[in-house]
């Protein structure tokens, strides 16, 4: 059964936030990544058509979904209770924890969040990494509010880490590992949060939600999920 969008067609617009490798990034001017391939494979299993991809900052994705500029978010977005007050999610398609990134061989080599006293930290605005900083570092009284820098994009945070402007970055583990492989930064430790990513949709788009969840199951049952995983994670 077809879902019905406001324009009466089954074409949907996807939104993502590049700069989050290997889930979404721009390479040679082209938007690529795990989420791009996965959503395209998932939509192929449905009666919807993916018309185009919009590239936005991460913290603009939910507002863009709300105001109808996009119909689905594919941005390694963690399914959280807080977000579920605003939007709905497909069934989960990937699991992740947070990681702490530091300069490779740098002075700051923390083993737990308790080691952060007196250090400066960065994360990307609107992310679960930022939630860890706010709840488990600032609220917990380990660092001061002023020791935290919120970035529009994790690439900018990692650049400031490389140049020593901040001491650590908190971000999703698979992305931290990608930055570790490509840049002068390393994972100090993994902070277990047990997150799961889902595709975000408007709460009223129940047909689309069901179609995407069925699509995720179909792609996972076929060889496609493994192919996409091996393309982007080399596993
Ligand atoms: N998974 C994290 C979140 O949902 C980070 C996502 C991202 O930065 N694209 O907040």
Q: Same structural domain for residues 31 and 146?
A: no
pLDDT in tens, 64-80: 999 999 999 999 999 99
- CATH number for the domain spanning 26: value is 3.40.190.10
The rounded distance, in Å, linking the Cα atoms of 17 and 11 is 20
Complex confidence, ipTM: 0.98
Are the C-beta atoms of residues 140 and 187 closer than 8 Å to each other?
Answer: no
C-alpha span between 38 and 124 (Å, rounded): 23
My answer on whether 63 and 120 are in the same domain is no
- pLDDT for 79-110, tens place per residue? 999 999 999 999 999 999 999 999 999 999 99
Domain membership flag for residue 3: no
Whether residue 1 lies inside any domain: the answer is no
Evaluate: CB of 16 within 6 angstroms of ligand 1.
no
Dist. CA 134 → ligand 1 center (Å) = 15
> Using one digit for the tens of pLDDT, what is the confidence trace for 202-228?
999 999 999 999 999 999 999 999 999
Structural domain of residue 176, as residue ranges? Answer: 96-195
For residue 127, the CA-to-ligand 1 centroid distance in Å is 5
- Please tell me whether residues 57 and 138 are part of one structural domain: no
Sheet holding 88-89, edge to edge: 49-55, 11-16, 72-73, 200-201, 88-89
Q: Please tell me whether residues 118 and 55 are part of one structural domain.
A: no
Q: Is the domain of 137 the same as that of 179?
A: yes
Q: For residues 204 and 191, state if they share a domain.
A: no
Residue 73 tokens, joined: 């978010």
Alpha-carbon 34 to chain mean position: 11
225 in the same domain as 143? no
* Percentage of the chain exceeding pLDDT 90: 96
> What is the mean pLDDT of the segment spanning 142-167?
98
Same domain as 227, residue 114: no
Q: CA-CA distances (angstroms) from residue 14 to 43, 163, 232?
A: 10, 34, 20
Q: Given its phi and psi angles, is residue 141 left (phi above 0), alpha (psi -120 to 50 degrees) or beta? A: left
Number of domains observed in the structure of the chain? 2
* Same domain as 106, residue 53: no
CA 77 to ligand 1 center in whole angstroms: 5
pLDDT of residue 158: 98
Q: How far is CA 64 from CA 45, 111, 214, in A?
A: 25, 38, 24
Query: Are 209 and 189 within one domain?
Result: no
- For 116: left if phi > 0, alpha if psi spans -120 to 50, otherwise beta; the answer is alpha
Residue 2 lies in a domain: no
Both 191 and 113 in one domain: the answer is: yes
**Which residue do the tokens 């530091």 mark?**
102
Q: What is the pLDDT of residues 157-181, one digit of tens each?
A: 999 999 999 999 999 999 999 999 9
């Amino acid at each position: 059964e077809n879902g019905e969008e406001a324009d009466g067609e089954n074409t949907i617009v996807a939104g993502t936030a590049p700069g989050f490798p290997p889930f979404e990034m721009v390479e040679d001017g082209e938007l690529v990544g795990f989420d791009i391939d996965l959503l395209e494979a998932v939509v192929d299993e449905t009666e919807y058509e993916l018309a185009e991809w919009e590239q936005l900052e991460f913290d603009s994705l939910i507002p863009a979904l709300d105001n109808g500029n996009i119909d689905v978010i594919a941005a390694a977005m963690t399914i959280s209770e807080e977000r579920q007050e605003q939007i709905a999610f497909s069934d989960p398609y990937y699991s992740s924890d947070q990681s702490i990134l530091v300069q490779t061989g740098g002075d700051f080599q923390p083993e737990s969040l308790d080691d952060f006293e007196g250090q400066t930290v960065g994360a990307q605005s609107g992310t679960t990494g930022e939630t860890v900083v706010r709840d488990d570092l600032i609220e917990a009284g380990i660092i001061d509010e002023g020791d935290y820098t919120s970035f529009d994009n994790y690439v900018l945070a990692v650049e400031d880490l490389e140049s020593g402007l901040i001491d650590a970055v908190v971000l999703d583990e698979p992305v931290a590992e990608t930055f570790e492989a490509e840049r002068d930064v390393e994972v100090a430790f993994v902070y277990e949060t047990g997150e799961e990513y889902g595709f975000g949709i408007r709460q009223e788009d129940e047909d689309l939600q069901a179609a995407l969840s069925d699509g995720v199951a179909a792609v996972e049952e076929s060889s496609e999920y493994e192919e996409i995983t091996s393309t982007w994670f080399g596993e």
